[in-house]
Amino acid sequence: MKKYFTLACVLCFFAVNAQNVGINTTSPSATLDVDGNVKIRTVDAAAVATTYDYLVVDPTSKEVQKVNGNFASATNTTIAKAKLNDGLSLLNINILGSDFKKIDFNSSTESINLTTNFDLATGQYTVPSTGIYEIYFYFRFGTGVQANLLSNLPSIGILRTVAGNTSTLDEKPFSGVNLLVANVTISASEINSIYELNQGDKISFGFDKGGLLSLSLLGSSRTEFVIKKISN
């Protein structure tokens, strides 16, 4: 009974006095300022959270604030994917000291959310917000290439353009190994990693033919990419 009386007194105090009240603090900075842990013994169960707001704590001010929306069902609009099964072509790109060319995904046989952040005309993904992104890039020659026919190995690369200047964000050559007198066929390469990107960065996917004398093999090649933001 005593605790209910105390609670009633506190509520009356709030009703009568339009001023800040502190618990464990002599200088409250909010209507109710609690300097200490808070326990709630019983919480009523809610329906499926499709329209509820959420209470969060600002790490700087320690103030409890409201966030609109349903975290669980929020759509990740940063995701983009494209796949080419054949008919691959390349776009010129200017990277000092590099022979990389951008892959043209304009005729993608399979794609997800390309029109939001990925420009098919330029072959570039524009980073919508600064954060950590996961990028997967895969390339496979349709018929393979014998290692002994190459002066140097071809490579795939993730390219980043900032303020009009393009550089290689990541690169991986195709693996070619000689086993005694047998030459291993080079058939595929992939990059799968995470990167810190800034809003406005432009990401594209490139191919360096290396020692290939002809690009005729690209006609039956297969390539795809997936990019998405995973953290701030």
Give pLDDT tens digits for 161-181: 999 899 999 999 886 554 444
Q: What pLDDT was estimated at residue 212?
A: 66
Query: What pLDDT is recorded for position 180?
Result: 44
The pTM of this model reads 0.66
Question: 3-class DSSP state for residue 133?
Answer: strand
What's the CA gap between 172 and 161, in Å, rounded? 18
Band of pLDDT at residue 203, cut at 50, 70 and 90: very high
pLDDT confidence of residue 183? 59
Q: Which residue has the higher pLDDT, 167 or 21?
A: 167
Q: Show me where the domains of the chain are located.
A: 2-67, 80-231
**Does 108 have pLDDT greater than 90?**
no
Pairwise pLDDT comparison (12 vs 158), residue with the higher score: 158
Model confidence at 73: pLDDT above 60:
no
User: Is the model's pLDDT at 8 over the cut of 60?
Assistant: no
* The pLDDT of residue 53 is above 50: yes
Query: Cα separation of 45 and 43, whole Å?
Result: 6
**Comparing C-alpha atoms, which of 160, 94, 157 is closest to residue 127?**
160
Specify the pLDDT at position 50. Answer: 59
Q: Determine the pLDDT at residue 67.
A: 75
pLDDT greater at residue 169 or residue 116: 169
- Residue 79 or residue 143, greater confidence: 79
Looking at domain 80-231, its CATH class is: mainly beta
Minimum mean pLDDT range among 42-56, 70-84, 128-142, 193-207: 42-56
Nearest Cα neighbor of 93 from 40, 159, 35, 145 is: 159
The predicted structure's pLDDT at residue 168: 93
Query: Which residue matches tokens 């691959």?
Result: 88
